[in-house]
Structure 1
Amino acid sequence: YHPQTSGQVEVTNRGLKRILEKTVGENRTLWSDKLEDALWTFCTAYKTSIGCTPYRLVYGKACHLPHEIEHKAYWALKHTNFDLRTTGDHRKLQLNGLSELRDQAYDNSLIYKERTKKLHDDKIKNRIFNVGDQVLPFNSRLKVFSRKLKSRWSGPFTIAEIYPYGTAK
């Protein structure tokens, strides 16, 4: 298991970490006690990338809090005279709706990925390199662990091969 290789896992872990940081407070040793609440918060929060909450994507309906459940139970008691055939048809419609919801979430995630890729690609500067050119690549790790007099540039390196999208070896 290597979460750094999956961007979606990284984003999820980052979101959970932010929620835990806000709920745990000063006593960070008790983070495991708050994990279930953080997961509940994460699963019931709207996600732009899929266009709904993860809870709704799994269960096909919005999450109801205890006071909403009480109201729904009262409504169900009022309408207990139901026909079995009608109930079966209603359940089939619910399952079809869940399938449509998942397809829509998949389409939304593809649109979101395309949009974020376009935003990322727009930031990339188009530089033309040739085989044999000398380059000094920026070392982003040295930016995080900076030392005052250490250069953040590596090299010089000589370009041996050119690949698509401006990458080189």
Structure 2
Amino acid sequence: MQLHELEEFRLHAYENAKLYKKKTKRWHDKHIVSLTFEPGQLVLLFNLRLKLFPRKLQSKWSGLFEVVRMTQHGAMELKNKDKSSTFLVNGQRVKHYLRNDVDRELEALTLNDE
């Protein structure tokens, strides 16, 4: 009798794990944002280098690269703005470069102790 109950408990646990995986996959797929890139666009590349003493305020995104072409499987060919050499990277390591065309003027404010 106990072996039968143990088998039933195992099947119930298997079904619960299956439902959990299905629900987690649905949530994950719902929150994926697909980015589309066109040749000539400017992008930033995620820096994967391992650093022993990372700085807190150091940016994880490096360079300014131009998209040369996209492959079918999500890889991108990028060209460095300074050099003419090209290289392939995974498309998930890239994000759009948003230009800030606003002219920034500096203002000096004087603070008075009153």
Length-normalised TM-score, structure 1: 0.32
Length-normalised TM-score, structure 2: 0.44
Higher relative contact order (CA 8 A, sep 6+): 2
